[in-house]
Chain A
Amino acid sequence: MLTKTTLAGLAAGVSLLAMGSAQAVEIEYWQYVFDSRVQAMDQLIEKFEAANPDITVKHTTFPYADYQTRVVAAKVAGQGPDVVQLFYGWTDQFVNGGLIQPLDPAVFPHAEIESEFFPIVSAMKRGEDYYGLPTAVRSLALFYNKALLDEAGVQPPQNLEELIAVAKATTKVDGGGNITSVGITMDMAGQDHQWWREVLVRQNGGVPYDEEGNVAYNNEAGAAALKFYTDLQTEHKVGQTGFMDEGQAAFRAGLAAMTIDGTFRLGAFEGNPFEWGVVELPADANGMRSNYSSYFANAIGATAEGEELEAAQKFLQYISSPEAMEIWLDEVGELPARRSVALTEENLADPILGPFLKGLEYAQTTRFYDEAAQRQTTIDMVNRVLLENQSVEDSLAQAAQAEQAIIDQGRQ
């Protein structure tokens, strides 16, 4: 009798266990390796699993260099992730390659996305569908070395005219005329190409790309923007491309009074052995400002369906929720993608975060087809003027042609 009851109990237990495992859904989340991002995501997964005991999330990471290749390879093998992180600039490739699926408007209402998130989220929209939502966004600002500015007796610049004046006052030159400390760093390979494209071109009355996404800067506005940039070295002699190898290296070494960089640099600059501050990117003479913003979004993998799709949607909802954004801000230092979470009085009053957040209000997002190649056209454009003495107009025309070719290639 006893053995029979035990057996019956065991059988019941086993069938219960089986039922339990049938209900638990496991979904896979992929992102690239970056310490603070991985830790923040682990924290989010823990909270999500506590709130949804029937879902487990497997967190997989890959080195940034082969991240894209891994996603593609997994798709080919039919083992893709359910929720995947991607740079907004890869959206075309991911959509065309059938790696991600559109977000269901019933779960992610468009009206809510458009009213709650910063307008740059539109870069995730293709046709009538959104393909992903960001947790956090990045923007640019002007970093300045307080000690060098104080030494020269100047204040951080608010507009482009002041920028040149401050740069002139802070540039140091040795007896032979060689620059030993620059007023402002010039590094197109860093963030300057974004500054030129989305800020300087617009401040000179142009737009970098037209409605269809074709190059539109090959005109007076573009030429004026390029001249402003190259004049920093040739005319005003306040900057020098290649000085200290990289702009951010020069700033960290205390040999640059100002540099333009993004939120992602905050961690690296934290340990600088001098006092530094941040202001919004300088306005033009009419007070017009612009900024460049970029982000990594989370999207739902093309292979997710049924209850896995449901679980993936729940998870995506959670990691783009206000709560998740606050955790991300604390852990990673990236700006929340929802206005209500980002633009709190506390955040806006923060001397470091404030300027970046203000920048988000008027930021633009470039639609890249091949970011590295498009950046290279800007680097080459400046080099032709500085190293080969080509005229600003000719170099600009050549860059426009080269970039348009990359865009055409990307559309095929």
Chain B
Amino acid sequence: MTTVSAISQAGPVRFWDRLNIGTKRVIWAWGFLALPIIFYSVIRFYPTFQAFWLSLTNWDLLRPAQFIGFANYQKMFADPLFWKVFQNTFLYLIIGTPLSLAISFVIAFYLDRVRFMHGFIRALYFLPFLTTAAAMGWVWRWFYQPVPIGVINGFLSTFGIPQQPFLRSVDQALISILIPAIWAGLGFQIIIFMAGLRAIPNTFYEAARIDGLGEWAILRKITVPLLKPTTVFLVVFSSIGFLRIFDQVYNMTTNDPGGPLNSTKPLVLMIYQTAFSSYQMGYAAAQTVVLFTILLVVSLLQLYVLREKQ
């Protein structure tokens, strides 16, 4: 008994001792790396592949999933609602990303020069980013109401301007939701832009001024090109944010989810409704696969367009 256990204890020790220091380091490194790898495989990659498989079935939670080939995709591409939602999602992206980046750059550019109450003003801009999207959505939803409770319409009527329907209009609803969404993300983008601006060495500006360059030329030739890494990061980050927009839309239009006649419905909301209201899990998975593809293509495209030219 004793000899057996002694041998089995000595075995691994001797094996470990025989390894050289380099191999030990590699084993240690892989030991630590294994944790996130296992975590990501189980929590991220496995469900992702599962979703791909589900998109080829008619799973409805209740009955076992049956393989139905590409029927979900055929149904989706033939559905006018899908194309409407697809269009909305890209409108959020195409209007939201450039507008929010332009505004936040201008604010960051000038805020960088302000010394008076700099910290306070910066905090004010950052505040909306800290607010829960749901709470913000509801506050804006009430801003947009018609009289007697809507603040904006109340303001318009005191000046004799006719009421605007905002969220209750097929034309204005999407913009009405985009405004708070842009406003909410502004704080984060300003902070990142300011960090980027601070990282540009002052000597460049001094040299340019000595050479007699104007403000506009400095901005165009020095600031914008040197800010490129920051810009690339923010473009990708905010694009993904707008493509995944949900909280604002859902909370501002709960009683007619996705706005009147689906005028504000993004892809994520459609997925949510298909899965958790109609329980068509397979169909929802197919929509998720499309969203995944869009996110991937848009991100890769942006990285390619904005890449560092050698």
Most B CB atoms within 10 A — which of A98, A242, A243?
Answer: A242
Q: List, in ascending order, chain A residues with CB within 8 A of B230's CB.
A: none
Closest to A247 in B: B255
A379 within 8 A of B: yes
A372 touches B168 (CB 8 A): no
Tell me which residues across on chain A come within 8 A of B160, comparing CB atoms: 176
| B167 contacts the other chain (CB 8 A) | yes
The residue of chain A having its C-beta at the shortest distance from the C-beta of B156 within the complex is: A176
**Which residues of A lie under 8 Å from residue B262 when comparing CB positions?**
380
- In the complex, identify which listed stretch (A18-26, A200-208, A269-277, A381-389) lies at the interface while the others stay far away: A381-389
Q: Is the CB–CB distance between A244 and B255 below 8 Å?
A: no
Q: Does A63 contact B (CB under 8 A)?
A: no
Contact indicator per residue, chain B 43-77, by CB within 8 Å of chain A (1) or not (0): 00000000000000000011100000000000000
A241 to B253, CA, bound (A): 13
Q: Is there an interface contact between A97 and B63, defined as CB atoms closer than 8 Å?
A: yes
Contact across chains for A245 and B145 when beta carbons are under 8 A apart: yes
- From the candidates B146, B149, B169, B257, name the one contacting A240 in the complex (CB within 8 A): B146
Contact of B62 among A72, A178, A243 (CB under 8 A): A72
Given contacts A174-B147, A178-B157, contact A242 B168 (CB under 8 A): yes
Interface centre among A68, A190, A376, A387, by most chain B C-beta atoms within 10 angstroms, is A387
Q: What B residues does A379 contact at CB under 8 A? A: 256
Judge if B299 is at the interface, Cβ distance under 8 Å: no
Contact status A244-B261, CB under 8 Å = no
A10 close to chain B: CB less than 8 A: no
Q: Does A189 contact B (CB under 8 A)?
A: yes
Contact check, A242 vs B261: say whether CB atoms are below 8 A apart: no
Contacts of B278 in A (CB 8 A): 370, 372-373
List residues of chain A with CB within 8 A of the CB of B168: 241-242, 387
A72-B62, A96-B62, A387-B169 known; A245-B261 Cβ under 8 A:
no
Complex: chain B residue closest to A370, CB-CB: B278
A246 within 8 A of B: yes
Check A340 for interface membership: any CB of B closer than 8 A: no
Residues of A contacting B147 with CB < 8 Å?
Answer: 174, 178, 180
Whether A242 lies near B167 (C-beta < 8 A) is yes
Tell me which residues from 386 to 410 in chain A have a Cβ below 8 Å from any Cβ of chain B. 387-388
Q: Is the CB of B148 within 8 A of A255?
A: yes
A95 CB to nearest B CB, Å: 10
State the Cβ distance, B283 to closest chain A Cβ, in Å. Answer: 10
- Asked whether, in the complex, the Cβ of B146 is within 8 Å of the Cβ of A383, the reply is no
B interface size (C-beta, 8 A): 30
Interface string of A350-384 (1 = CB under 8 A from B): 00000000000000000000101100100110011
Closest to A181 in B: B148
> Are B62 and A387 touching (Cβ within 8 A)?
no
CA–CA, A96 to B60, complex, Å? 11
Q: Which residues of B contact A255 (CB under 8 A)?
A: 148
Which residues on the B side are within 8 Å of A388 (C-beta)?
170, 261
A69 within 8 A of B: yes
CA distance A376 to B270 in the complex (A): 13
**Per-residue CB proximity of B124-164 to A under 8 Å, as 1/0?**
00000000000000000110011111000100010010110
| Interface status of B260 (Cβ within 8 A of chain A) | yes
Report the bound CA distance from A180 to B279 in whole Å. Answer: 40
Q: How far is the CB of A250 from chain B (nearest CB, A)?
A: 9
Q: How far is the CB of A224 from chain B (nearest CB, A)?
A: 23
Nearest-Cβ distance from residue A196 to partner chain B, whole angstroms: 15
List, in ascending order, chain A residues with CB within 8 A of B63's CB. 96-97
Q: Mark B256-277, 1 if CB is under 8 A from A, else 0.
A: 1100111000000000010001
Q: Given A241-B168, A246-B255, are A178 and B277 also a contact pair (CB < 8 Å)?
A: no
Residue of B nearest to A93 (CB): B62
- Check A387 against B260 for contact (C-beta < 8 Å): yes
Question: Is the pair B62, A245 in contact by a Cβ cutoff of 8 Å?
Answer: no
A176-B157 contact in complex given A99-B62, A387-B261, C-beta closer than 8 Å = yes
Q: Using CB atoms and an 8 Å cutoff, list the residues of chain A in contact with chain B.
A: 68-69, 72, 93, 96-99, 174, 176, 178-180, 187, 189-190, 240-246, 255, 370, 372-373, 376, 379-380, 383-384, 387-388
| Chain B interface residues (CB < 8 Å from chain A) | 61-63, 141-142, 145-149, 153, 157, 160, 162-163, 165, 167-170, 255-257, 260-262, 273, 277-279
Identify 16 new A-B residue pairs, CB closer than 8 A, beyond the known A93-B279, A242-B167, A244-B145: A97-B62, A176-B162, A179-B146, A180-B147, A187-B255, A242-B145, A242-B168, A243-B146, A245-B142, A245-B255, A372-B277, A373-B277, A376-B257, A380-B261, A383-B170, A388-B170
